[in-house]
Amino acid sequence: MNPVWTVAAKEWIDGWRDRRAVVSAALYSLMGPGVVGMVSFAIHDADRVLIAMMSVFTLVAAFVGGVNVAMDAIAGERERRSLVPLLMHPVTRLHLLLGKWLAVAAFCAAGLALNLAGFALLFHRVPQPVLAVSLLPLCLLAAALEIWISTLCRGVKEAHTYLSMLVFLPMMLGMFMVFSPVAGNRWWKFVPVAGHQLQIEAGMRGAAPDPLALLGVGLATMIVAGVALAAAARRLEQDDVVYGG
């Protein structure tokens, strides 16, 4: 088996067995359907508000699914002192990182799928398949940022602090896009997270996906994910990561 897949499979199994973390990630992913469901009882004829809220919670779900696995995958390896034994294998650090990234991205995608399934069940609103697929780069970006942050931390507690802050990114950017008049400017469609919010909101209203915008934001998202991964790979080459300094 290719080392990248070997690492990804191990991280997936290890992450899945951490039941407390899995349940916590699932609850966070379902928080959106839960909150929007409660709000829908309180206000009537407010589709615009509900859809806007749904789009923001969907963005957040793409990030929360992978947080615990990312925390454990690098910062946890350092804390439990299993990073040095792992680095002793004849596998490049980039391959190890890519395997961990794919595993984290799979958990992000699972969180996103759970969130969309919750909304579909409660409100019978689902984004078109093409839009759902176009959210996968968002999961890859979330995973790359989470892995990068995890490489900067010495232990799980520190990683937990910074990764919790990262989840504010989709929340803040999503809310900004919902309420800001600048959201109508065309270039926002190509900004990662912001562009996704616009697409999700439009999709949940029943509008046809904009292929150019989907392609553009997908490309921009992958570029940012690549930069985050390169930063993580660079960090993993530094001596203090090995020496726990």
CB of 78 to other proteins, least distance (A): 10
Question: Whose Cβ is closer to other proteins: residue 18's or residue 158's?
Answer: 18
Residue nearer to other proteins on the CB measure, 69 or 135: 69
- Spatial contact of 130 and 209, defined as CB atoms under 8 Å apart: yes
DSSP string, 10-65: HHHHHHHH-HHHHHHHHHHHTHHHHHHHHHHHH-SS-HHHHHHHHHHHHHHHHHHT
Nearer to other proteins, 13 or 172 (CB): 13
Query: Which tokens in the block code for residue 160?
Result: 């937990």
Q: How far is the CB of 13 from other proteins (least distance, A)?
A: 7
The CB-of-15 to other proteins minimum distance in angstroms stands at 9
Task: Locate 41 and state its tokens.
Answer: 């009882």
Which CB sits closer to other proteins, 67 or 96?
96
Q: C-beta of 31: minimal distance to other proteins in Å? A: 26
The backbone torsions φ and ψ at residue 66, rounded to the nearest 5 degrees and listed phi first, read -100, -5
- Which of 157, 142, 125, 190 has the alpha carbon at shortest distance from 28? 142
Amino acid at 127: P
Footprint of other proteins on this chain (CB under 8 A)?
Answer: 1, 3, 6-7, 10, 13-14, 17-18, 80-92, 239-240, 242-243, 245
- Name the residue nearer to other proteins (CB basis): 10 or 160: 10
CB of 167 to other proteins, least distance (A): 24
